[in-house]
Amino acid sequence: MLLKRTHTCGELTKEHVGQTVALNGWVDAWRDFGGLVFIDLRDRYGVTQVVFEPEAGADLQSQARELRNEYVVGIRGTVAARLPGKENPKLKTGAVEVRAVELSVYNASPTPPFEINGPEPNEELRLKYRFLDLRRPELQRVFILRHEIGQLMRRVMTEMNFLEVETPVLGRSTPEGARDFLVPSRVHPSHYYALPQSPQLYKQLLMVSGFDRYFQIARCFRDEDLRATRQPEFSQLDVEMSFVEDEDVMTMMETLVAAMAKQFGGEELKLPLYRIEYHDAMERYGNDRPDLRYGLELKDVADVAEETEFRVFQQAKEAGYRIRGICAPGGAEKYSRKDLDGLTEFAGSFGAKGLVWLKVEAETFAGPTAKFFTKPEVQAKLRERFDAKAGDLILIVADTQAVTSQALSNLRARLAAELEMYDPRSFHYSWVIRFPLLAWDADENRYVAEHHPFTMPMAEDLPLLDTDPAKVRAQAYDLVVNGEEAGGGTIRCHDPVIQSKIFALLGLTPEEADEKFGFLLSALRNGAPPHGGIALGYDRLVMLYAGLTNIRDCIAFPKTAKGTDLMTGAPGTVAARQLRELHIRPNLD
RNA sequence: GGGGAUGUAGCUCAAUUGGUUAGAGCACCGGCCUGUCACGCCGGAGGUUGUGGGUUCGAGCCCCAUCAUCCUCGCCA
């Protein structure tokens, strides 16, 4: 029988003393004292202690004695103040307990595969029994936070006059970008829908339709290999607006970012947020999404290297390599020779063929290559370049632009963490702007879009489209939080002539462009307003504000690194009949 | 597709150099207990050491293969 609840397990206080209440929930713990039985009852609001006393009758007590962890029950009883000195300050409801007069067991439960309030089980088990895993208060807290972040997004966007519109999940495959998830059409043999990588084109079309300010918390799909912060399906706050340039989109988005920072980061943000151009970010941090909670900037030391007798540097110069480094304050004391070998190996994992390290001492440098850096002017220049003091550690990589950037930016992040150069609970928000429009793809022997193919070049760079496309900067902006890309967007190309020119640079013939994007070009020709937008990674923001390092814990039913669902068994096989209907013959080679 | 880590009781972990009967805490089962909330006390049960092969007098430990999970490179407009 259902004992319909009058309160949740998180709300009873001294004010309720004397009331008759009913609670529903799961048995979180039981303590049997023979004459007295305690049950901790849990729901998503909290835990309340229920006591079964002898006065309630032997039958009820013996029923209570049968209860085990994770049984789902309803109880009716009277709220009583706890005996003086017996309050539990760890519980919101710890000042009271419910003296049970009635118990209804809705469902028994076997001994669970792991303890809901015990140590965190391994992830395989958690994912297999996700419905139990999600009972754990740590995870419940994440999903409550996720809901609150979503609500804040909807409220702030609505206040700024944005309209929520849904776009299709079944769309058509686009040739650029990530691999698509495909859905075969039953009605049209050999034709396939694609799940959206983002609602990009639809939201642009909504601008052409005059919807002016659109948003959506949209599910996106990408069939690429997964990582700690990457799932095949994820959600983003997708935004598009008309009659704007890049500053307008950033300013608008800062309103939301400030609201989130205030509510979830406990911080009053100073606006506008710091902006850094892509080129400067790459130069100073070797990364287009630098973590700016700490300095540790990259410095070019090619000119100093030239003055040394170090062969590695001379060969680097001949190869046209860059010679760059960072200086870790206090690093010489922190890192042993063995640690430094570890750092060298770490740099090697990003392609660096070596890592020059110099321990800065009062008068000299120490280290296996220090003998190449003994000239007074070399010493002085390096100290000045890195603002190096005794006890610091200078790390130098000589390699291509890409390798020095990758190796040093990763070293930078690692050193800052290990040397505790920032508060890991703090947040730093910034914009990286003016990305290159195009990147040269040597494998495909053509340009590919750095962001996506619908991006507007910066007006002053438009002439370069014809002369030096690689130099064209885009009206693009990424929101970076703590070294993670929290979102990104662009001003779109609303001019069909420029759009066609970009398609051509991407290696699309006019016919191909028309075949793939004819509807977009048509829309652009039919009164497309200047427009642009942005998308914020919803799951990533939840992860950030929840203090997590893994996106799976921000998604109720996530996939493993190989894209499987350990609970449902997806992806699974299907009946031959289903395949026949879809005109698919499996290739079992 | 490549690299790395892990896999021991239901769970979290331990097990020295390859050497006795693979241990502990929690959970579980039985008993006792009227104020616990990490209850306590007494007793008990629970293991094909992921799987398959190999080396060895002897393998949780060494070798090979394989599976799973995690991290990572490539990839991710």
Q: Which nucleotides on strand B sit less than 7 A from a protein beta carbon?
A: 1, 10-13, 25-29, 32-40, 68-77
Q: Quote the CA–CA distance of A122 and A119 in Å, as a whole number.
A: 9
pLDDT at A588: 63
Token couple for A303? 């000119």
Q: Quote the CA–CA distance of A45 and A26 in Å, as a whole number.
A: 12
Nucleotide nearest to A88 (CA to C1'): B37
Q: Quote the CA–CA distance of A8 and A47 in Å, as a whole number.
A: 9
**A46-52/A96-107 β-pairing:** parallel
Nucleotide nearest to A99 (CA to C1'): B35
A452 touches strand B (CB under 7 A): yes
- End-to-end CA separation in angstroms for chain A: 57
A58 touches strand B (CB under 7 A): no
Q: Identify which has the larger pLDDT, A458 or A337.
A: A458
The stretches of A44-89 forming alpha helices (DSSP H) are 58-65
What number of CA atoms fall less than 13 Å from residue A376's CA on the CB side? 0
- Within residues 383-412 of protein chain A, the ones with CB less than 7 A from nucleic strand B are 406
Q: Is the pLDDT of residue A513 over 90?
A: no
Torsional sign, CA A254, A255, A256, A259:
positive
Supply the DSSP symbol for A298.
Answer: -
Would the ipTM clear 0.85, i.e. be above it?
A: yes
Residue type, A19: Q
* Residue in A437, A433, A431 with CA at minimum distance from that of residue A473: A437
A79 touches strand B (CB under 7 A): no
A449 touches strand B (CB under 7 A): yes
Distance of CA A546 to the CA centre of its chain: 11
Q: Quote the CA–CA distance of A548 and A539 in Å, as a whole number.
A: 11
Provide the 3-class DSSP secondary structure of residue A180. Answer: coil
Question: CA of A561 vs C1' of B51, distance in Å?
Answer: 21
A176 touches strand B (CB under 7 A): yes
A550 touches strand B (CB under 7 A): yes
Provide the 3-class DSSP secondary structure of residue A499. Answer: helix
The pTM of this model reads 0.94
Mean pLDDT of A211-228: 96
Nucleotide nearest to A68 (CA to C1'): B28
* Residue in A451, A529, A449 with CA at minimum distance from that of residue A487: A451
Give the pLDDT band (50/70/90) at residue A405: very high
Residue type, A107: N
pLDDT at A589: 55
Question: CA of A65 vs C1' of B33, distance in Å?
Answer: 14
Q: Is the pLDDT of residue A587 over 80?
A: no
Q: Is the pLDDT of residue A558 over 90?
A: yes
Looking at every residue in chain A, the average pLDDT score rounds to 94
CB A487 within 8 A of CB A537: yes
Give the pLDDT band (50/70/90) at residue A582: very high
* Residue in A477, A485, A479, A478 with CA at minimum distance from that of residue A543: A485
Mean pLDDT of A194-210: 96
Q: Is the pLDDT of residue A60 over 70?
A: yes
Q: Which residue is nearest to nucleotide B26 (CA to C1')?
A: A118
Phi, psi of A398 (to 5 degrees): -115, 110
Mean pLDDT of A343-366: 88
pLDDT at A123: 95
Q: Is the pLDDT of residue A141 over 70?
A: yes
As separate numbers, helices (DSSP H) first and strands (DSSP E) second, chain A gives 18, 22
Question: CA of A61 vs C1' of B42, distance in Å?
Answer: 23
Nucleotide nearest to A176 (CA to C1'): B77
A342 touches strand B (CB under 7 A): no
Residue type, A278: Y
Nucleotide nearest to A120 (CA to C1'): B12
CB A290 within 8 A of CB A414: no
Q: Quote the CA–CA distance of A170 and A184 in Å, as a whole number.
A: 10
pLDDT at A180: 95
Q: Is the pLDDT of residue A444 over 80?
A: no
pLDDT at A73: 97
Q: Is the pLDDT of residue A240 over 70?
A: yes
> Tens digits of per-residue pLDDT, A79-95?
999 998 899 999 999 99
What is chain A's Cα-based Rg? 30
Output the CA torsion A46→A557→A200→A470 (10° steps).
110
Q: Which residues of A390-403 are buried (b: 16+ CB within 10 A; e: fewer)?
A: ebbbbbbbbbbeeb
Q: Quote the CA–CA distance of A19 and A80 in Å, as a whole number.
A: 8
Token couple for A360? 């800065």
Q: Quote the CA–CA distance of A423 and A522 in Å, as a whole number.
A: 51
Q: Is the pLDDT of residue A130 over 70?
A: yes
Mean pLDDT of A242-263: 97
Token couple for A443? 């494998």
Question: CA of A69 vs C1' of B43, distance in Å?
Answer: 22
Phi, psi of A441 (to 5 degrees): -105, 105
3-state percent helix, strand, coil for chain A, nearest multiple of 5: 35, 25, 40
pLDDT at A226: 96
Q: Which of A227-231, A249-253, A439-443, A490-494 has the lowest mean pLDDT?
A: A439-443
Place of tokens 């990530």: A178
A515 touches strand B (CB under 7 A): no
Phi, psi of A248 (to 5 degrees): -65, -40
Q: Which residue is nearest to nucleotide B72 (CA to C1')?
A: A227
CA distances from A224 to A171, A177, A221, A534, A560 (A): 18, 11, 9, 22, 13
Give the number of other Cβ atoms within 10 Å of residue A418's Cβ: 14
A86 touches strand B (CB under 7 A): yes
Question: CA of A107 vs C1' of B48, distance in Å?
Answer: 35
Question: CA of A34 vs C1' of B30, distance in Å?
Answer: 14
Q: Quote the CA–CA distance of A195 and A134 in Å, as a whole number.
A: 27
CA distances from A362 to A251, A295, A392, A556 (A): 48, 23, 10, 55
Q: Is the bond into A571 cis (omega within 30 degrees of 0)? A: yes
Provide the 3-class DSSP secondary structure of residue A32. Answer: strand
CA distances from A203 to A165, A239, A475 (A): 9, 8, 18
Nucleotide nearest to A448 (CA to C1'): B77
Nucleotide nearest to A201 (CA to C1'): B77
Q: Quote the CA–CA distance of A180 and A303 in Å, as a whole number.
A: 47
CA distances from A336 to A332, A342, A409 (A): 8, 10, 21
Nucleotide nearest to A80 (CA to C1'): B35
**Maximum average pLDDT range among A327-341, A346-360, A377-391:** A377-391
Instruction: Give the largest Cα separation in chain A, rounded.
Output: 93
